[in-house]
Amino acid sequence: MTAARAWHALTAAVAALALGLQLVLVIDGGRVLEETHPPTMTLRLVRLVAYFTIQSNLLVLLSTLFLARDAAYDGPRWRVLRSAAVLGITVTGLVHWFLLRPLLHLHGADHVADQLLHLVVPILAIVGWLVFGPRPRMSWPSSLRATAWPLGWLAVILVEGGATGWYPYPFLDHREHGWDHVAVVCAGILLLWFGLLWVAHAYERRMRPRLVVTGS
């Protein structure tokens, strides 16, 4: 197995472990970002999947599973998946570090799951993309299609939150700081997304192609 495939396999394994641990904790009554859980198991699971963190980790898991099997994998749909995974997990790590980390006081297994989802998986995924690629894989059409995911997620969360009063992240709750604050935060995150998108494309243009041949 090549170093690239081994790294992607490690990333996929850690992402699966993190997601599995968080799922067990939610089922068992562990904390995510709220003090109390929704009243039904179905609602717990639906709200778990609503977190951008969970979705970005799932995308990393899916994309790296392909690369663990073939480090030079390619395809138009996979390019969209890969772009969404790399950008999404980067946003997850940055937003958690600067906006959410000061609000959390987790312990034990809840702390472990939080660190895996927000720190370890982002580092593994970003390092894997920077070092092993494969490159080139990003194009503006695929990247813009990938952008439909965070835009759609944000729209659904704001509409659902307005109807139910539940938001996965406190900075999206207009009752805390008002709609002006929510609008500024959302604009900032979208600017971060497009800024990272520009940086990723610039990086791919400057770096030599990294098309790793699969080996045993």
What is the per-residue pLDDT for 211? 55
Residue among 2, 150, 121, 124 at smallest CA distance from 73: 2
pLDDT tens-digit readout, 184-194: 999 999 999 99
Using DSSP's 3-state secondary structure scheme, residue 196 falls into helix
Tell me the pLDDT of the chain averaged across its residues. Answer: 89
- Is 179 domain-assigned? yes
Tell which wins on pLDDT, 34 or 141: 141
Q: Whole-angstrom Cα distance, residue 91 to residue 110? A: 21
Tens of pLDDT, residues 79-118? 999 999 999 999 999 998 887 877 777 788 888 999 999 9
Residue 213 belongs to a domain: no
Q: Rounded distance, CA 214 to CA 124, Å?
A: 20
Work out the average pLDDT over 46-70: 96
Give the pLDDT of residue 31: 61
Does 109 reside within a domain? Answer: yes
Query: Is 18 within the bounds of a domain?
Result: yes
Instruction: State what percent of residues in the chain have pLDDT above 90.
Output: 65
- The lowest-confidence range among 10-19, 34-43, 99-108 is 34-43
Is 69 within 8 Å of 5 (Cβ atoms)? yes
Mean pLDDT of 156-178: 90
The rounded percent of the chain whose pLDDT value lies above 70 is: 91
Q: Report whether pLDDT(33) > 60.
A: no
CA–CA dist 96, 53 (Å, integer): 9
80 located within any domain: yes
- Domain count for the chain, please give it: 1
The domain in which residue 44 lies consists of 3-206
Question: Are the beta carbons of 69 and 75 closer than 8 angstroms?
Answer: no
Residues in the chain: 216
Q: Is residue 212 part of a domain?
A: no
- Report whether pLDDT(214) > 60: no
CB of 195 closer than 8 Å to CB of 53: no
3-state secondary structure of 135: strand
Q: How is residue 181 written in tokens?
A: 């604050």
More confident residue, 134 or 60: 60
User: Which residues are CB-contacts of 182 (< 8 A; sequence separation ≥ 6)?
Assistant: 158, 171, 172, 173, 174
| pLDDT tier at 215, thresholds 50, 70, 90 | very low
The better pLDDT of the pair 143, 177 is held by 143
Highest mean pLDDT among 24-28, 76-80, 133-137: 76-80
Q: Is the pLDDT of residue 9 over 60?
A: yes
Indicate the range of 55-69, 77-91, 159-173 predicted with least confidence. Answer: 159-173
